[in-house]
Structure 1
């Protein structure tokens, strides 16, 4: 599912009330994490239409979520506080130690919302009836051309978003998430959560030790950013092995608090396959590739092409430094948030 669903869970609710945007978004962040709900979601974007069954719960201070694809190949995702386990056909399993697309957004404090207000404008866009429930709409409109906008309709009672549109600068709907059925039980108890989460915990200790070793290698890379588009800053830096096991993927995430952009670096070899250079687009996703000597930079994100390109062009390496391996465009996971 696209990162747009993650925006829905953290920003949509609260639009129904005539209160200032800061209060609305802070209240939305808390409600989106702590409300129990389950239903059927339709996602449309990038020439793709998917139907998903979603179960979301909150118990003992921990957010739990299970997403099952009702169309296409059988697959499920179980999430615990941003960590996800993908359950594939024939019982093949693997873990991803990164936020699921639905959970890329951090908890929104008044300070974070104040930062968002510097680059986004918030306003009410009226009411609508979605999945049989009364909803109020809210538009999040960028103040410049460096990011996309959003239209969000939140349930009037629970503040859970039931419909979210990702909006291009020309007003086109790039992606859409909408509930067709939804209910809000007081408690969600599902033992199927526990089996997948237990396996995740067993692997986490091993993964943590490996990640620490790779982190020591990454510290030698030393690459940095020059001037970035207004509002963007580095939030995370992570590492993983390449598919052939011979290198390390370095992944840096930048965000303005709403839009997330991923940057990857790789050292090219004489036998390396062709890599992305210049700009590329896949639906709402823009990518930019750049070769600097033996280093290949890939920038990927749901943002206007100018934003992705400027971030790629801002990457700088100190003289004599060669960074560690990173993926080409085909290997790069979607960002986001």
Structure 2
């Protein structure tokens, strides 16, 4: 990890623009704002787990509320829509529609921390060179972790709209784990946003970011003693599976870039122990008494192991 950090830092410094007036943190803040408040659409390619998925993408912002829509161009044909934190997926061939509600708003393109300055001890935000992406000039920002508990990533930011044109996530060996790439991006006419709209957006964000208050993790029978610096408890919810009627508790912790889900459920006939991996996603499971615990996320193996082993019963 240290070698990867030095290598990416060298690249960032070697190609940095001396005339650049914004630092990496300021770029990310502007990207966050642009992603939420602009109306834009285009064609985006997702490369993950060795698979390539090309989809039409549209983002709108109206009355302080975000709406995202992904429409697949290849089989299986489907349309995924996010309206604030309400997500639905329509499978066009069967007309089956699956709806869910996520306690926080999460972009289909890239997750960014609301306040990057809080992570200066965990990440280095480096301004690198510029490249052309989808025939648009893009500024490269390297997000480099200062420990071995999270992945490095780079963002290619459209210098005109400040929207992300490309995102890459790197494993600890320096290889690309996943990539999101716009092959075409169109920014629509700017929506007229009033102060009331911005206030509504701020209140909406606060509501969805802190919905976990409805289920206080501190009142649960579990305790999380260890997790990476910079991570925060985002929400805790209790789900009942429809078919099995089994209760599964879900705690999400995140630093804004990376997230780890911790699941608590009753142990089955045979408990699950140890590490499992699928591409950039790692999970670590352990059993405490009659409780099955699994920590899962797009983070290095040592991160999910640290989190899972940090769980105890109150």
Q: TM-score, normalised by structure 1?
A: 0.75
Which structure: greater strand fraction? 2
Residue from 166, 170, 175 that aligns with 1:172:
175
1:136 — aligned with what?
A: 139
Distance 1:247 1:103 in 2: 32
Distance 1:68 1:304 in 2: 31
Q: CA deviation at 1:154?
A: 0.7
Q: Note the alpha carbon deviations across 1:96-125, whole angstroms, 9 max, x for none.
A: 1114552784762xxx32212110001122
Alpha carbons of 1:19 and 1:152: their partners in 2 closer, same or farther (altered >3 Å)? same
Q: Note the alpha carbon deviations across 1:289-335, whole angstroms, 9 max, x for none.
A: 101111100110011100110000000102xxxxxxxxxxxxxxxxx
Q: Tell whether 2:73 aligns with 1:78.
A: no
Alpha carbons of 1:97 and 1:258: their partners in 2 closer, same or farther (altered >3 Å)? same
2:307 — aligned with what?
A: 311
Q: CA deviation at 1:147?
A: 0.3
Contact map agreement 2:24 2:141 (CA 8 A) in 1: no
Distance 2:286 2:96 in 1: 36
1:286 — aligned with what?
A: 282
Q: Note the alpha carbon deviations across 1:185-229, whole angstroms, 9 max, x for none.
A: 2169xxxxxxxxxxxxxxxxxxx9xxx7xx59x887420111222
Structure 1 unaligned segments of length 5 or more: list them: 1-14, 189-207, 319-337
Contact map agreement 1:82 1:104 (CA 8 A) in 2: no
Number of residue-to-residue matches in the alignment? 274
SS at the partner of 1:240? strand
1:34 — aligned with what?
A: 37
Contact map agreement 2:31 2:157 (CA 8 A) in 1: no
Distance 1:146 1:64 in 2: 32
2:70 — aligned with what?
A: 67
Contact map agreement 1:57 1:187 (CA 8 A) in 2: no
1:92 — aligned with what?
A: 96
Distance 2:280 2:69 in 1: 25
Q: Where does 1:181-196 land on structure 2 (aligned, <5 Å)? A: 181-186=184-189
Contact map agreement 2:170 2:176 (CA 8 A) in 1: yes
Q: Where does 1:1-337 land on structure 2 (aligned, <5 Å)? A: 17-89=20-92, 90-98=94-102, 99-100=105-106, 102=108, 105=111, 108=114, 112-186=115-189, 221-269=220-268, 272=269, 274-318=270-314
Alpha carbons of 1:100 and 1:119: their partners in 2 closer, same or farther (altered >3 Å)? closer
Q: CA RMSD in A?
A: 2.5
Q: CA deviation at 1:276?
A: 3.2
Distance 1:21 1:60 in 2: 30
* Stretch of structure 1 that moved more, 173-182 or 20-29: 20-29
Q: Note the alpha carbon deviations across 1:113-140, whole angstroms, 9 max, x for none.
A: 2212110001122111111111111100
Q: CA deviation at 1:21?
A: 3.3
Contact map agreement 1:50 1:69 (CA 8 A) in 2: yes
Q: CA deviation at 1:25?
A: 2.2
Q: CA deviation at 1:26?
A: 2.0
Alpha carbons of 1:92 and 1:84: their partners in 2 closer, same or farther (altered >3 Å)? same
1:191 — aligned with what?
A: none
Alpha carbons of 1:220 and 1:241: their partners in 2 closer, same or farther (altered >3 Å)? same
Structure 2 unaligned segments of length 5 or more: list them: 1-15, 192-210
Contact map agreement 2:38 2:190 (CA 8 A) in 1: no
